[in-house]
Amino acid sequence: MRAWLTRGFRSSSLSVATSGRCLPTVASTAVTFTTVAFTTVPVTAAPFRLAIFLLTFLFAGFSLSAPAPAAQAQPVVFVDFSWDSVQVHNRIAGFILEHGYGMSVDYLFADTVPGLLALERGDAHLSMEIWRDNIAEAWERGLVRGRFAELGRNFPDAPQGWYVPTYLIKGDPERGIEPLAPDLRSVTDLPRYWELFRDPEVPSKGRFYNAPNGWVVHDLNLEKLAAYGLLDTFVPFDPGSDAALVASMAAAYERGQPWVGYYWEPTWVMGLYDMTLLEEPPYSDACWETDKACAFKPAEVLIGAHKPFVDQHPEIAEFLNNYETTLAQNNDVLAYMQAHGATAEEAALYFLRTYEDVWTAWVPADVAERVRAALEGR
């Protein structure tokens, strides 16, 4: 999830990618016959035999009925928002629903606003990551109207803030790196170590890698730098894009060099590299409404549902209320995707194989056994 809380989101048209939506149903007619006893009719009464035969069926027991066709199982539709982690979690849950519970599943790709609309209307049923603070008003409105349901947290509150490579603090003997900033714990310690982060363009100050200009968090970081008095010793650097921000971190890490800047979790880069989140005073509304000299508010990540759907499927609600992962597991799966060029489906299978002890605790034993059998066939 790309720190949507601090970036905001944009509305756009709904785009859809489906993998075999429900097939049309075919009506079937059920005919039942009741045994009928006939009396002997003289051959000479042949013209009357047909009439008696028909009247007997009509009044003595023939039933021709065409009941409502059996409903074709509708797929459970997940909203696929645009970031990797939600798509992976959708497919972890989807695999379990398909192979453990015998349900068909589908995935609807959508940006934030149209995806929420689909979930509210019932065009979609589930999404494994709802970053509630990003969409607080719309989400609350749907809850009040009985259109949304919250099925617990997918993973603990997602952090964002200012990171440094852990080897700066602890060193890395395997790479021959000595701890250059052993007492660096907090953002307020940065002035003592500014020379480690020297900006090549402004060598009298250190470089702080900010979020790209255009993200809301870009300006929030500027406010925080000023509130901590760091603009005297650091220059905020705009990398231009998320890809450039990641590239700057990766290049420094691979070379064992100092780096300090903004990022968030869970992300693949945090799974691939050992980074330390610098301490800040804890978040408070009062702080955030004044100078912002405190930590970002952790983003709460929920499993969201179309309430009428889960009311009709309590077994799904029970499963997803048990669904819980950790930041470390998410970072690991996203790092696997990056390192192997894996799809969301392949990353979901990686999770299910790697963390069997985790997901088997979410479901009954018979469901777990069917999922295991399906995994063995992959």
Shared domain for 165 and 283, answered yes or no, is yes
pLDDT for position 83: 86
Task: Tell the residue number behind the tokens 């601090």, with chain if given.
Answer: 6
28 within a domain of the structure (yes/no)? no
65 within a domain of the structure (yes/no)? no
218 within a domain of the structure (yes/no)? yes
CB 327 within 8 A of CB 284: no
10 within a domain of the structure (yes/no)? no
Shared domain for 112 and 181, answered yes or no, is no
**Tens digits of residue pLDDT in 69-124:** 333 368 999 999 888 999 999 999 999 999 999 999 999 998 888 999 999 999 99
What is the dihedral sign for C-alpha 261, 205, 199, 169? negative
pLDDT for position 82: 82
Overall domain count for the chain: 2
Domain boundary among 244, 264, 288: 288
Task: Tell the residue number behind the tokens 């979609």, with chain if given.
Answer: 124
How many residues make up the chain in this entry? 378
Shared domain for 176 and 275, answered yes or no, is yes
Domain boundary among 288, 323, 353: 288
At 62, the amino acid letter reads F
Shared domain for 362 and 325, answered yes or no, is yes
Q: Pick the closest to residue 79 from 17, 2, 149 (CA basis).
A: 17
258 within a domain of the structure (yes/no)? yes
Shared domain for 363 and 261, answered yes or no, is no
Q: How far apart are the first and last CA of the chain?
A: 28
Shared domain for 83 and 142, answered yes or no, is yes
15 within a domain of the structure (yes/no)? no
CATH number, residue 273: 3.40.190.100
* Helix, strand, coil % in the chain, rounded to nearest 5: 45, 15, 35
Shared domain for 97 and 149, answered yes or no, is yes
SS3 233: coil
256 within a domain of the structure (yes/no)? yes
DSSP 44: G
CATH number, residue 142: 3.40.190.10
Shared domain for 284 and 176, answered yes or no, is yes
pLDDT for position 40: 32
CB 364 within 8 A of CB 303: no
Q: Cβ atoms within 10 A of the Cβ of 321, count?
A: 14
Dist. CA 260–CA 241, nearest whole Å: 16
Cα 141 vs. chain centroid, distance in angstroms?
21
Q: Which domain holds residue 340?
A: 78-157+300-376
Shared domain for 269 and 210, answered yes or no, is yes
pLDDT for position 73: 67
Shared domain for 168 and 151, answered yes or no, is no
List of the chain residues with pLDDT < 50: 1-72
pLDDT for position 263: 95
294 within a domain of the structure (yes/no)? no
Dist. CA 128–CA 78, nearest whole Å: 8
**Tens digits of residue pLDDT in 266-297:** 999 999 999 999 999 999 999 999 999 999 98
pLDDT for position 132: 85
Domain boundary among 268, 288, 308: 288
DSSP letters for 303-315: EEEEHHHHHH-HH
Shared domain for 171 and 264, answered yes or no, is yes
Shared domain for 208 and 121, answered yes or no, is no
